[in-house]
Each structure stands twice: as C-alpha cells, then as structure tokens.
Chains A and B, each alone.
Chain A
Amino acid sequence: MLHIYCPHCAETREEEEFRPKGEAHIARPVEPEATSDEDWGNYLFFRKNPRGLHHELWYHAAGCRKFFNVTRDTVSYQIHETYKVGQKPSVTADKGAAK
C-alpha cells in the first residue's frame, strides 16, 4: 500500500482513500475549432507512459474529495512529492529525482 500525502488535508493517508486519475498537466487546446484533428486526438486520447518519473493526477475520494498532483516513479512506485493543482512540480525528470 502506498502512503500518499494529501496537500489539502495536510496528512499522509492510505492509498485506499485515493483514486488515480491518469496523467497530470494536460492542457486543453485554447481554440478547439482551430485545432487539427491529430492534435485534438492527441489531447483526448494519447497519454504518456514513461518508465521512471511520472506526474499524475490523483483524487482523494474518501477524504476531502479534491484533486492534486503526484510525482511518482513508475518503476519503484516511490512518490517524490505531491502538490496542488495549479502548482509546478519541483521534482522533474530533467532536474533528476533525489534518491
């Protein structure tokens, strides 16, 4: 079981209280009608599946029912940080994860 720190509750809670919601930081095209079919398809359906650091959206379903972001290593399952929606991650692949 993962222990996940909810930045809204300011507590570490059991994984069972959360739901993963896929990749984070997906920006909706500003002008959908001017977006090509390929770009729109990529926005709707195509997701990253990295081996290593991944920024994900999680939902605290049984707690505060808020969304937040998680930076997780998909190999070791280690969670490097959690941060609120709208904030930028401090741990990224190019900055390197602190082991």
Chain B
Amino acid sequence: MSEIAQMDLNPRGAVKSESPLAMTRVNVVLAASARDAGVVVREKPFLGHLVLRGRAEDEAFRAGVERVLGLALPLALGPVARDEARGVSLQWMSPDEWLIVVPAGLEFDAEAALRRELTGHYAVMNTSGGQTVLELTGPKVRELLMKCTPYDVHPRAFPVGKGVSSVFAKSSAVIRRVDEERWELVIRRSFADYLYRWILDAAEEFGVFVSPSESAGSVEHRMAREAAVEGR
C-alpha cells in the first residue's frame, strides 16, 4: 500500500456534479407562448445576403445600386436603407462595403442585376450560405442586448432604423434595430449554434419563446425559389 492520497472526484450528493456538457443549454425553460415572453427569437433563414464593395464617391456606382435595389446607397454609419414591403435592405458596413439582404431565392437575380448595371471598380459576393438572420422581438430585447454587446443600445445611441457591426457575445454580429421592440442580428454560420444557445441562455431570465421560422424548406419558400429560377 503506497502513501498516496486518493480523492473521490465525484462526490455524489453533497456537491452537485456536472457533465462537461452541462453548459449546453439547449433545453432552457421556454415561455408558454410569445405573449408571455420578454424575448421572442425567430430565425429568418435562407435570405439572400450579398456583400457589395465599391467606391462611394463614384456617382455611377451609387446610381447603379439605386437602379437595381430601389434604395439609395447609405454613405455613412446610421440608418439601414430598407423597403419592408419588398423585403430588401441595404446597410453601410464600412466606407467601401455594404450588406444587401433580399428575400430568399432572389439573391441570384439581385447579383446578376448588379453585375449588369455596375461598371468600374466594384465587387459583389453572395454570402447567403455563410450567414443567417435572427429576429428578436419583445419588451426585454434591449436588456438582452445589454448583456451581449458593449455597443450602447440606448435609444439615444441606437434609434430605430440604425444598424451597426459590433462585438456580440465575444464573437461578432451585425445588430439592426428594425422597430421599437424589434431587432435583427446578422450572424455568421460558424457562430450560429453558439450564438443561438448564448441568446437562449441569456434571455431565459426574461422569458424566452422560440417562434418557428417561416420557411426552412416550407412550401412557400420552395415555390418562391422555383418561381425565381423560372423567371431567369
């Protein structure tokens, strides 16, 4: 018998033991309905995301973008240009970079139209597969965001319509305020699982409800896509 102090590292009973997966909070306590929840989370999947690069001081570039999207190119950080009815938005990301979001299935046509209309020094990249949109609604969303990002989400600094890119939950996200109590996060695919679980965990205290996303291979989504393909 050697002189070794042996410890029981799993003292059942007195101390709570947790599996390494204990922090995997997929099963947070969800609110009974969207009406009881302080935060309602809904993914808006399969939207068309295009990254547009170009020279903002080039008048022909600005005019071309406006002809295709029907939205004036924002020239500084601030309000996201948005047409709610058509589901098209255009956001300033950097002095020479913009994020275009179009409805599912229309990204191919939007890119083709931009390539038709634009000349000179520009770039369009389809990043639809690389990112997704989470919509957060409810009276407690602002409080939830305060837990997640160092950016000031007070109405004074973050009025309705504004969109910024910032640190979010030690990762990054594009944060957009669509309405008083409606926000959007544009998140990267590789962080989506982590951020989704972070948001559910952070929102649990306010009462969180996950609203089913409208498409995820639904009939309407498929039909919209087929219609867009036929129209080509």
A-to-B contact residues, CB < 8 Å: 1, 8-11, 13-14, 16-17, 61-66
Contact = CB atoms under 8 A, between A and B. Distances in A.
A50 B163 CA distance: 38
Interface string B57-77: 000000000000000000011
B95 interface: yes
Contacts of B97: 64-65
The 10 closest A-B pairs by CB, nearest first: A64-B94, A14-B150, A62-B167, A62-B172, A9-B77, A16-B150, A16-B167, A8-B95, A62-B166, A17-B167
Given A17-B166, A62-B165, A8 B172 contact: no
Contacts of A9: 77, 164
A1 B151 CA distance: 13
A65 B150 contact: no
B37 interface: no
B222 to A, nearest CB: 36
B80 to A, nearest CB: 14
Interface of B: 76-77, 93-95, 97, 150-151, 164-167, 172
A64 B167 contact: no
Contact of B77 (A11, A16, A17, A62): A11
A65 B76 CA distance: 14
A24 B48 CA distance: 39
B191 to A, nearest CB: 12
B68 to A, nearest CB: 23
A68 to B, nearest CB: 11
B176 to A, nearest CB: 14
B145 to A, nearest CB: 14
Given A16-B150, A62-B167, 17 more contacts: A1-B150, A9-B164, A10-B76, A10-B77, A13-B166, A17-B150, A17-B166, A61-B172, A62-B165, A63-B166, A64-B77, A64-B93, A64-B94, A64-B97, A64-B165, A65-B94, A66-B94
Contacts of A65: 94, 97
A13 B76 CA distance: 15
Contacts of A17: 150, 166-167
Contact of B167 (A8, A14, A66): A14
